[in-house]
Structure formats: structure tokens, C-alpha cells
Homo-oligomer: A and B are copies of this chain.
Amino acid sequence: MSAPDTLRDGNASTRIADGLREAILRGEYLPGDRIIQEDLSARYGGSRIPVREALRQLESDGLVRLVANTGAWVASLSMAECSEVYQTRERLEPLLLRFSAEHLTTETLATLDRLAHQMEDAPGVEEFLELDRRFHFATYDSFHTHTLGPLVTRLWNTTQPYRRAYTTLVGSRNRRIFHDEHHMLVTALYDGDLELAEQILALHIRRTRLHLERHPELFDPTTPPH
């Protein structure tokens, strides 16, 4: 999904921010991990100046927590905070889906169907997560948004570590209903029934949240003081 650590944009801060974001999403850094500026300088090249700009960016993205004169940590969520993100998604993503579905092409629909089936055979956690993300974002990509798209991406990103932990924990048990919901969503989109598609998506997100809430042990026990 992303180029290697070579130059890809004009400036170093963007490159570092992108690289670190991907690393966090890949699970290379875990919630609560300390981030040392110098380490990032060494890893991505360059001095600490662009590293610091990158950290500011990621802080606004909700992936990093900065404390003045003290340091940076990979953001962690309490269960209540994670639930909040999911409830937010439950309201936002159906809207984005509606915007996007109005411009869906036949090719995209075919892709969605293919992804939904591929997921059923996903061998491991990483493949499953990756395909799930690609599936949902494929339903959103047909509408170029200014606000909503980036917002939803952000919400996915901040909760990614917990989705990974949950998926790892429960293995491939109980995934049937998950796949069924995906197929139902594809069918509703085929039929052009946007109202139904919105409802299925909302329920899909809601059910996932309720499942996550059964595993408080995955989350940061304390709400950090901010």
C-alpha cells in the first residue's frame, strides 16, 4: 500500500510522518511505546527537525501523544475511548457510503465482491485486516471528499491496533456473521438500495463495537490525563 522509505514527497517531514504512520498501522510500534526523536532521525535519515514536524502531524492525527519537554508515545485508547470512536464511525461512515455509492461503477462492485470472498480465505490476521480495510475503503473511494474521507481514515487508524489485537485474540471464530454482513452490503449496493446499505453498515460497525467491548483486557486500563 505504501512505497518504501525512499523519497516520495518533496519534504522530509511528510515522508517521515507517512513512514511512521504506516509503521504504527503495521503494528511495528504498539500503543504506549515511547518514541525517541533521534531513533526516527536515524531510521528515516535527516535531522530531528523534520522528525518533530512529523510528530506534530501524527499527534493531530491521533496516532501519537506528545508531552512538552518529556517525549512522544504511540497513542493508546481506553475501552471507553475506543467505543466512542466506533460510535462516531457508526454515524459517519453510512453518510460517506451514501455519497460514494452514488458514483459506484460496475468495476468497483466487482472488486468489492471479489474482496468480500477473498476475505473468507484470508490465512492470517494481517491479511484479514488488510482485506477488510481495502473492502471498506473501496466502498468509499468513489467520492472524492475533502473532510469526510480523511476523517474516517483517521478513525480507522486510531483504532487499528485494537482491531488487530481483537482479531488475533479471537482467531477465525465467529467470522461468519462478519462475512455475511459484507456480502449483504455488496448486494444492497448492487441493488442500488442506499438506505439498506447505510443500515447494514451501521449495524456492522455497531456489532463490531459490541464484540470489542467484551474484551476490556485489550485496552489501556487508565484514561490518560490530557
Contact = CB atoms under 8 A, between A and B. Distances in A.
Contacts of A109: none
A146 B84 contact: yes
A47 B108 CA distance: 50
Contacts of A61: 60
Contacts of A68: 9-11, 14
A88 B10 CA distance: 32
B151 A69 contact: no
Contacts of A148: 84, 87-88
A151 B158 CA distance: 13
Most chain B CB within 10 A, of A9, A68, A95, A146, is at A146
A97 B195 CA distance: 24
A10 B9 CA distance: 31
Nearest to A70: B10
A46 to B, nearest CB: 14
Contacts of A84: 145-148
A218 to B, nearest CB: 16
Count of this chain's copies in the oligomeric assembly: 2
Contact of A60 (B49, B60, B80, B91): B60
Interface stretch (A26-34, A51-59, A160-168, A203-211): A51-59
A183 to B, nearest CB: 26
B81 A146 contact: yes
A104 interface: no
B91 A95 contact: yes
A155 interface: yes
Contacts of A69: 10-11
Interface of A: 9-11, 13-14, 49, 52-53, 56-57, 59-62, 68-69, 77-78, 80-81, 84-85, 87-88, 91-92, 95, 145-148, 151, 155, 158, 223
Given A11-B69, A14-B68, A57-B60, 6 more contacts: A10-B68, A57-B59, A81-B146, A87-B95, A91-B92, A147-B155
